[in-house]
């Protein structure tokens, strides 16, 4: 009789659907919450990755074009007058802010002009870099916390599996398999969210530092010709 019951349990376990949807539907509230959090974090991370990739590609092209036009122009003021207010390049925005301040301080001494323009450039550059690095913290947070959130779901799922063993008093793998599968699913989602976020954060952080150096180089050259 016991052998027949064991056979039925094993057969039931063998026919259990282990698709991702069923793993989610069978999970309890805590594991479902973990899965939803990790999926949402992963989706937002990928949206942010594509956005930042397009942004760096765009500003690299626009800044190169701006610098070429700037250094070929007759004078900074004539080039400033030819620009429109719709310029969407960070270096162009910094240049426009600096030129606006320079025109305002025409009646001042060269030392005063240089100091005030330098401050404006510094403030504008800091503003542009902050806009570029917006949401970088989210990628870093997902990269560092997602594996632990997934691990929490894993531990919770395994605890449920042991509770199933205690309640059924049956050590068959068919009893614990669903809970373990849910637990491993949470772990996999944690890694799936964390790995791209970490790689993207390191890549974009490096690109941001390079672009900051480019802004600093332009700023120094611009101040030297005032």
- Work out the percent of the chain whose per-residue pLDDT is above 70: 82
- Work out the percent of the chain whose per-residue pLDDT is above 90: 41
Flag whether pLDDT at 11 surpasses 90: no
Q: How buried is 39 (Cβ within 10 angstroms: 0-12 exposed, 13-18 middle, 19+ buried)?
A: middle
The 10s digit of each residue's pLDDT in 102-159 is 888 777 777 778 888 889 999 999 999 999 999 999 999 999 999 999 998 888 888 8
Q: DSSP H helical segments within the chain, as ranges?
A: 2-14, 20-26, 29-72, 76-82, 90-104, 110-132, 136-168, 173-225
CA distance 89 to 72: 18
The 10s digit of each residue's pLDDT in 174-185 is 666 666 777 788
Distances (CA, A) of 23 to 57, 148, 174, 208: 40, 20, 14, 40
Flag whether pLDDT at 211 surpasses 50: yes
pTM given for the model? 0.78
The confidence band for 5, taking pLDDT boundaries of 50, 70 and 90, is: very low
Q: Residues with Cβ < 8 Å from 23, sequence gap 6 or more?
A: 178, 181, 182, 185
The DSSP code sequence of 121-181 is HHHHHHHHHHHHTTTHHHHHHHHHHHHHHHHHHHHHHHHHHHHHHHHHT---HHHHHHHHH
Flag whether pLDDT at 28 surpasses 70: yes
Q: Residues with Cβ < 8 Å from 36, sequence gap 6 or more?
A: none
The confidence band for 15, taking pLDDT boundaries of 50, 70 and 90, is: very low
Residue-level pLDDT at 171: 63
């Amino acid at each position: 009789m016991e052998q027949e019951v064991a056979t039925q349990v094993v057969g039931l376990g063998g026919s259990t659907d282990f698709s991702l949807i069923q793993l989610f539907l069978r999970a309890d509230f805590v594991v479902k919450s973990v899965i939803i959090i990790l999926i949402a974090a992963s989706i937002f991370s990928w949206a942010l990755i594509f956005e930042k990739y397009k942004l760096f590609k765009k500003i690299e092209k626009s800044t190169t074009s701006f610098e070429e036009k700037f250094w070929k122009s007759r004078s900074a003021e004539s080039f400033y007058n030819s620009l429109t207010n719709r310029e969407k390049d960070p270096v162009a925005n910094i240049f426009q802010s600096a030129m606006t301040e320079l025109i305002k301080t025409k009646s001042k001494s060269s030392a005063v002009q240089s100091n005030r323009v330098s401050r404006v450039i510094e403030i504008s550059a800091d503003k542009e870099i902050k806009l570029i690095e917006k949401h970088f913290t989210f990628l870093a947070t997902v990269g560092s916390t997602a594996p632990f959130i997934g691990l929490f779901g894993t531990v919770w799922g395994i605890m449920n599996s042991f509770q199933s063993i205690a309640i059924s008093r049956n050590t068959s793998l068919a009893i614990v398999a669903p809970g373990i599968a849910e637990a491993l699913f949470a772990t996999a989602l944690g890694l799936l969210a964390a790995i791209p976020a970490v790689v993207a954060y390191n890549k974009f952080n490096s690109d941001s530092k390079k672009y900051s150096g480019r802004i600093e180089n332009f700023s120094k050259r611009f101040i030297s010709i005032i």
